[in-house]
């Protein structure tokens, strides 16, 4: 069976076509600048195909994608596509698992789209486009927030007036749930048990730390939106909200402009003044740039703070896992974080850490907490959920 995993953005559409018999990626790619001018890139069989095309909307992107799947002999017929799984950022507390798309699901999605105005409406455009192009193929939605719905009320509520939660749904929802769930399932296979305490560190341009006990999310660092938690590529993470009024007055900015600064001009980029890309920061760090050193240490410290907090919350930890772009590729960040955790008995094998490529255990035999690097695969999780639902 072949499943399409789809991640639709406001002006983009990413896809992976996965053969579920062996869970291998047949083809993947991205359609970009939708509604502006348009171009696509498709990778298949070791080749990369790129072309500038007119993409008036997501329907154009989907139609061209399906056309290219045939023309490039990726599939012989569209009948080979058994299902389409869509990433949806925000499911609020209406969805605690992946579901097949029907009219009721679309109504619920429409009712909560304002909780993720930059993402959910775009996700819905992708769903509608595929429903129109492949009317007989089932569509599913896989939510970033679903895995975190096992958090207790004590955990997900904010210490603000209770009627904010009752009237407006103000609470912690988290994000990256599909990635954290993939890490949990992978660790279940590695440890050969589903009874363990895990701290999953999804560290990319966006970053979140999640405490998992016996396969269920206990707490996660992102909050009502992905702006909360650890500092990230361009996001501030947790800050005192009282800093906003004086900066608004001094900069003559409104609340939307300040929130935009916290989302797009803060974090690694804002503190370093160098770049939001960890590769650029690492290059400056290795040259002993003062701001790069400060930023790298601050970044590691904020991640450490959450790991330590969740270590206490879980009553210990069997494993810490690093994943996503930085977590998988930056041995310096992993070392800085683990060095901060020595008091918990975390002991890193420097050779294994420095030479890690792909999935690996990077802690020593004597480490009281096992430390792993595991490449995440959200597209595969979407495809797995879709296959399970359409069966």
Residue pointed to by tokens 């490529």: 357
| Tokens linked to 383 | 């495809």
Place of tokens 């003559």: 252
**Could you tell me how far CA 332 lies from the centroid of its own chain?**
21
On whether the CB atoms of residues 379 and 16 are closer than 8 A, the answer is yes
Which tokens belong to 322?
């690093």
Distances from the Cα of 325 to the Cα of 189, 233, 375, angstroms: 22, 11, 8
Alpha helix stretches (DSSP H) within 265-376: 267-272, 278-286, 290-314, 324-329, 331-340, 350-354
Residues with active-site annotation: 144
Q: Which residues contact 76 (CB under 8 A, 6 or more apart)?
A: 70
Q: What is the rounded distance in angstroms from the CA atom of residue 83 to the CA atom of residue 177?
A: 21
Q: In the chain, how many H helices and how many E strands?
A: 15, 14
The closest of 129, 119, 114, 111 to 61, measured between CA atoms, is 129
Q: Which residue has the tokens 């959450």?
A: 306
- What secondary structure letter does DSSP report for 363? B
Handedness of CA 58, 59, 65, 71 (dihedral sign): negative
Q: What are phi and psi of 298, to 5 degrees?
A: -65, -45
Instruction: Tell me how many degrees the CA angle 92-134-42 measures, rounded to the nearest 5.
Output: 85
């Amino acid at each position: 069976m072949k499943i399409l995993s789809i991640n639709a953005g406001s002006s983009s559409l990413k896809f992976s076509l996965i053969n579920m018999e062996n869970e291998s990626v047949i083809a993947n790619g991205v359609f970009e600048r939708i509604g502006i001018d348009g171009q696509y890139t498709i990778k298949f069989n070791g080749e990369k195909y790129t072309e500038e095309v007119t993409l008036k909307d997501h329907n154009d992107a989907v139609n061209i994608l399906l056309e290219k799947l045939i023309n490039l002999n990726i599939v012989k017929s569209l009948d080979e596509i058994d299902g389409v799984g869509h990433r949806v950022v925000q499911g609020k507390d209406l969805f605690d698992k992946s579901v097949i798309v029907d009219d009721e699901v679309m109504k619920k999605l429409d009712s909560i789209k304002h909780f993720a105005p930059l993402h959910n409406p775009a996700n819905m455009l992708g769903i509608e486009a595929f429903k129109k192009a492949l009317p007989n193929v089932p569509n599913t939605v896989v939510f970033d927030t679903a895995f975190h719905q096992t958090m207790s009320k004590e955990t997900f509520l904010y210490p603000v007036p209770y009627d904010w939660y009752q009237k407006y749904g103000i609470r912690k929802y988290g994000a990256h749930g599909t990635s954290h769930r993939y890490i949990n399932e992978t660790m279940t296979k590695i440890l050969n048990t589903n009874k363990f305490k895990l701290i999953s560190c999804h560290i990319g341009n966006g970053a979140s730390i999640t405490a998992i006990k016996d396969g269920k999310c206990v707490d996660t660092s992102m909050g009502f939106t992905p702006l909360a938690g650890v500092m990230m590529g361009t996001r501030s993470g947790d800050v005192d909200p009282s800093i906003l009024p004086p900066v608004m007055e001094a900069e003559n900015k409104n609340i939307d402009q300040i929130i935009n600064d916290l989302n797009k001009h803060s974090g690694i980029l804002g503190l370093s003044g160098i770049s939001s890309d960890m590769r650029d920061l690492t290059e400056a760090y290795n040259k002993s740039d003062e701001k790069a050193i400060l930023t790298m240490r601050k970044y590691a410290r904020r991640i450490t703070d959450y790991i330590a907090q969740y270590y206490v919350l879980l009553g210990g930890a069997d494993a810490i896992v690093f994943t996503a772009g930085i977590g998988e590729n930056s041995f310096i960040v992993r070392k800085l974080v683990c060095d901060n955790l020595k008091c918990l008995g975390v002991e890193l094998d420097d050779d294994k850490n420095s030479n890690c490529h792909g999935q690996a255990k990077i802690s020593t035999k004597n480490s009281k907490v096992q430390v792993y690097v595991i490449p995440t695969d959200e597209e595969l999780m979407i495809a797995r959920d879709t296959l399970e639902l359409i069966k």
